[in-house]
Amino acid sequence: MTETTAEATDDRSAAGVGDWLTRQIADFAEVPADSVAADRPLTEYGIDSVSGLAICARIEDHYDLDIDPTLLWDAPTVEALTDLLRDELAARG
Amino acid sequence: MPAHPTAQAAVAELTARLGDPDDADNPLGHAAILAADEDAEILTAGERLLDDTGLNAEYVPAALGGRFERLDRLIDVARTVFRRDPTLGAGHGIGSFLAAVNIWSAGTPAQQKAVADLLLANGKLAVTYNELAHGNDLLACETHARRSGDTLLLNGRKEPITNAARAAAYVVFARTDPAPGQRSHSQLLVRPADVPPTTLRTLPRTATVGMRGLPLAGVEFTDCPLGDDAVVGAPGQGLQTALTSFQVTRIALPAVLAGALDTGLRLAVRHLAGRRLYGASALRIPAVRRLLAGAYADLLLSETVTAVAARGAHLTPGESSVHAAGAKYLVTGTLLGAFDDLATAMGAHGYLRAGDTAFFQKLLRDIRAAQVLHASRAACLLTLMPQLPLLATRSWNRDRAAHAGLFRPAETLPPLAWDRLKVTAKGHDHLTPALRDAADGPAGDEVTREAREWTGRLRTLADSCAALAPAELTPLAGTTAYDLAAHYASVRAAAATLGTWQHGRGTTLPDERWWPLALLARLPSSPRHRVTPLPDHLAEPAVEDLIARCTDDRPLGLARGWAPPGGQP
């Protein structure tokens, strides 16, 4: 576990959410965050159904959201995931 | 006042109309069923009866004109058929239900109406997941539909499929997008009457060792043209629909299969009671008594676990993936083990195709072949495995409270909310905290002591699972995660047992402490342990209860206590 994942951030802007997500993916993939491209499928970084569940749980815990476990099915890139999460957060106000 | 009879009334009516199983002249009796089995035919008279009594309505939601509102009612009624003849139960209605749940959960209103009307008119629906080459590996499915103008052209071959040659409609799982991922498959509702006959061909019947009368065959689609209205729900929703549908069918199927064990126990007790060996009734031989007691405990365990899981689908739908996979894995294994024990007790008579015990060998074969109906036990473990680490961190290692409603079969249930069934439980588990509640019982009590043992086992399981790396949880990674998932199924069964012991009072459950202890004693105590025989102090009261219930022709099961609102158990 890298230090960045524990770092609290309350930045809910698109850039903030995107950065946080990128760091999570990098953490699971065990690669530097700057090597994770926002438009590439997460599966390319070794994210599978198991780590996908863990990532969903991290998203729920971090943003205090209740998300559907199929979230990553519909949003298979950091970019798509950021958009969906932004919508969720906006809907919650 | 409900417009349809209560579950108890429906079960009583069906039982009465099935008549005396031992009457050689009863077209629905054991002799007739055995004759049909020898001919590898489904019991035609049985199908006619089930059509006459409108059994299919049990599988159709009340909102669409049927009687399906509660999974426990559906189980009670369908189990009555399985108790008489598992092949009839599988071939007549439950096969249609396995298909229809996909439509109830994801279909358009028009598809739901069409399927409801079809079933209420005694038509059959077939579900086609299986391809011989890919088994339960759904994403590997080769059957595909590609777009050509306004039409989808379906190609591929599905087998073995229950009722393939006589279904009025198929629910076909097919790839609808060449892209990788979980949004590339759809379910398609295909009516043979609506497509050119040359594009849909049923293949020759598949013979099986058990459930010999079940009409299994393949179905092959060749450029079978379908409109967009054939797609069940949204395009690409197929995997999600399948996985959530399994959460209902993986509970219902093992629950109804337990009916076969009910009959197997009665046959074994009757045979052994009439048999004199070594100068006494075979029922007095301690080794025989212990085998019967174990198999009886297995029946109670199967019914308890599935009753709790069925309530779970209504009360904690988000956790239904673990309710269903855990129950299906545990109960199908328990039923197989129980039949092994009964066959050991019966000796040669467990295998004779003629004489007073002939029906037993049919049940023995049927229960083994039930595998052809549905997902394998390994597939159930594969559902649990990826969820283990999150369950450990989010539930088992935290102070969660049990949902006591899971354990109260007499209480009412909210309607089944299809949209609240989720593909995974996201680490939530409101069942296993029942272990800790039971462990807080009176000190010195044997049930409390057992509950503490199981609480410790859950803690050990949590430690093992929290430490699992994602790479250890894939199908090919090794046996460790499989063993842990199987053990989790046992821990859940222990929680279901202890929760029902604590909260299930005031129903028809026996108020004797041998039963929770006997059920717990039948559960493997660690990931690599197997089922062990019951100790004498549990086997004796269990076998006495079994013999008394068989002699008085009383129900053997536990899960009969539920009552409709305002009704009597």
Query: Which residue among A28, A50, A76 sits closest to B181, beta carbon to beta carbon?
Result: A76
Q: Which of B240, B386, B423 sits opposite A50 (nearest CB)?
A: B386
CATH code of the domain containing A26: 1.10.1200.10
At B506 the pLDDT is 54
Shortest CB distance from A53 goes to which of B183, B239, B386?
B386
CATH number for the domain harbouring residue B245: 1.20.140.10
Contact, B254 vs B327, CB < 8 A?
yes
Alpha-carbon gap, residue B225 to B222, rounded angstroms = 9
Instruction: Identify whether A6 is part of a domain.
Output: no
Q: Identify whether residues B460 and B530 lie together within a single domain.
A: yes
Residues B473/B386, Cβ–Cβ less than 8 Å: yes
Report pLDDT for B505: 66
DSSP per residue, B296-336: HHHHHHHHHHHHHHHHHHHHSGGGHHHHHHHHHHHHHHHHH
8 Å CB contact of B183 and A73: yes
Domain of residue A54 covers 11-92
Q: What is the pLDDT of residue A1?
A: 41
Number of residues that this document lists for chain B:
569
Same domain as B459, residue B351: yes
What does the buried/exposed string (b/e) look like for B148-165 if buried means 16 or more CB atoms within 10 Å of the residue's CB?
Answer: eeebbbbbbbbbbbbbbb
Numbers of helices and strands, H then E, in chain B: 18, 9
CA distance B502 to B434: 9
Q: Which of A28, A57, A74 sits opposite B426 (nearest CB)?
A: A57
Q: Which of B235, B256, B274 is the last residue of a domain?
A: B235
Inspect the interface and report whether the beta carbons of A69 and B427 lie closer than 8 Å: no
pLDDT value of residue B509: 60
Model confidence pLDDT, tens digit, residues A46-86: 888 888 998 999 999 999 999 999 999 999 999 999 999 99
Instruction: State the CATH number of the domain containing residue B151.
Output: 2.40.110.10
Residues of A in contact with B394 (CB under 8 A): 57
Q: Which one of B108, B124, B140 terminates a domain?
A: B124
Report the residue from A54, A69, A74 with minimal CB separation from B183: A74
Scanning B406-425 for CB atoms below 8 A from A yields 422-424
Domain for residue B569, yes or no? Answer: no
Q: Tokens in use for B59?
A: 């599988």
A-proximal residues of B, 357-386, CB under 8 Å: 386
**Closest chain B CA to residue A49:** B386
Question: Residue B56 to residues A10, B9, B47, B282, B458: CA-CA distances in angstroms?
Answer: 54, 16, 11, 42, 41
Whether residues B61 and B20 share a domain: the answer is: yes
Instruction: Give the domain range for residue B29.
Output: 7-124
Residue B563 lies in a domain: no
**Domain-terminating residue out of B83, B101, B124:** B124
Contacts of B239 in chain A (CB under 8 A): 73
Is A4 domain-assigned? no
Question: What string of DSSP letters covers B190-257?
Answer: E-GGGS-GGGEEEPPPPP-SSSTTS-EEEEEEEEEEE-GGGB-SSTT-HHHHHHHHHHHHHHHHHHHH
Torsion sign across C-alpha atoms B322, B324, B326, B329 = negative
| B positions 234-263 inside 8 Å of A (CB) | 239-240
Is A5 a domain residue? no
Q: Which residue, B76, B48, B33, is CA-closest to B252?
A: B76
Shortest CA gap A5–chain B (Å): 17
pLDDT at B507: 56
Look up the CATH number of the domain holding residue B78: 1.10.540
Contact A70 B181 (CB under 8 A): no
pLDDT of residue B3: 60
| Distance between first and last Cα of chain B | 16
Q: Do A50 and B474 touch (CB under 8 A)?
A: yes
Among residues B169, B227, B239, B413, the alpha carbon closest in space to that of B309 is found at B413
Instruction: Please check whether residue A17 lies inside any domain of the structure.
Output: yes
Tell me if B98 is assigned to some domain: yes
User: Residue B390: which of A43, A48, A57 has the nearest Cβ?
Assistant: A57
What length is written for chain A?
93
Residue B181 and residue A68: Cβ atoms within 8 Å? Answer: no
Listed in sequence order, the DSSP H helices in B107-218 are 109-120
How many distinct structural domains can be found in chain A? 1
SS3 B567: coil
Does residue A3 lie in a domain region? Answer: no
What is the pLDDT tens value at each position of chain B, 569 positions in all?
A: 446 788 889 999 999 999 999 999 999 999 999 999 999 999 999 999 999 999 999 999 999 999 999 999 999 999 999 999 999 999 998 999 999 999 999 999 999 999 999 999 999 999 998 888 887 788 889 999 999 999 999 999 999 999 999 999 999 999 999 988 899 999 999 999 999 999 999 999 999 999 999 999 999 999 999 999 999 999 999 999 999 999 999 999 999 999 999 999 999 999 999 998 888 899 999 999 999 999 999 999 999 999 999 999 999 999 999 999 999 999 999 999 999 999 999 999 999 999 999 999 999 999 999 988 887 899 999 999 999 999 999 999 888 899 999 999 888 999 999 999 999 999 999 999 999 999 999 999 999 999 999 999 999 999 999 988 888 888 888 889 999 999 999 999 999 999 999 998 655 566 688 999 999 999 998 888 888 899 999 999 999 999 998 998 888 876 454 333 333 33
The two three-digit tokens of residue B9, written as one number = 């009334």
Q: Of B50, B35, B25, B19, whose CA–CA distance to B359 is shortest?
A: B35
Phi/psi of residue B526, nearest 5 degrees: -150, 165
> Which residue in B181, B422, B470 is closest to A69 by CB distance?
B422
B468, part of any domain = yes
Interface test mutation site (partner B, options A53, A60, A68, A72, max chain B beta carbons within 10 A): A53
What is each CA distance from B133 to A14, A36, B98, B344, in whole angstroms? 45, 37, 21, 35
Handedness of CA B386, B420, B244, B151 (dihedral sign): negative
CA distance A52 to B426: 11
Tell me the chain B residues in contact with residue A48 when contact means C-beta distances shorter than 8 Å.
470, 474
Of the candidates B461, B397, B425, B438, the residue with the CA atom closest to the CA atom of residue B324: B425
All residues of chain A having their beta carbon less than 8 Å from the beta carbon of residue B424 are 53, 69
Whether B36 is covered by a domain: the verdict is yes
Residue contact B390–A53, C-beta within 8 A: yes
> What is the ipTM, given to two decimal places?
0.86
Nearest chain A Cα to B240, which residue? A70
Q: How many CB atoms lie within 10 A of CB B457?
A: 20
What's phi and psi for B191, nearest 5 deg?
A: -105, 115
Same domain, yes or no, for B376 and B517?
Answer: yes
Instruction: State whether B309 and B443 are in the same domain.
Output: yes
Q: Does B183 touch chain A (CB under 8 A)?
A: yes
The answer to whether the Cβ–Cβ distance between A73 and B386 falls below 8 Å is: no
Which pLDDT band, with edges at 50, 70 and 90, does A10 fall under?
Answer: low
CA distance A16 to A11: 5
Q: What's the CA gap between B512 and B27, in Å, rounded?
A: 39
Q: Is the residue at A1 inside a domain?
A: no
Residue of A nearest to B185 (CA): A73
φ, ψ for residue B88, nearest 5 deg: -65, -45
Reading the block at residue B4, the tokens are: 């349809």
Domain count, chain B: 3
Between CA B342 and CA A58 the distance in angstroms is 49
Comparing CA positions, the residue from B470, B471, B450 lying closest to residue B521 is B450
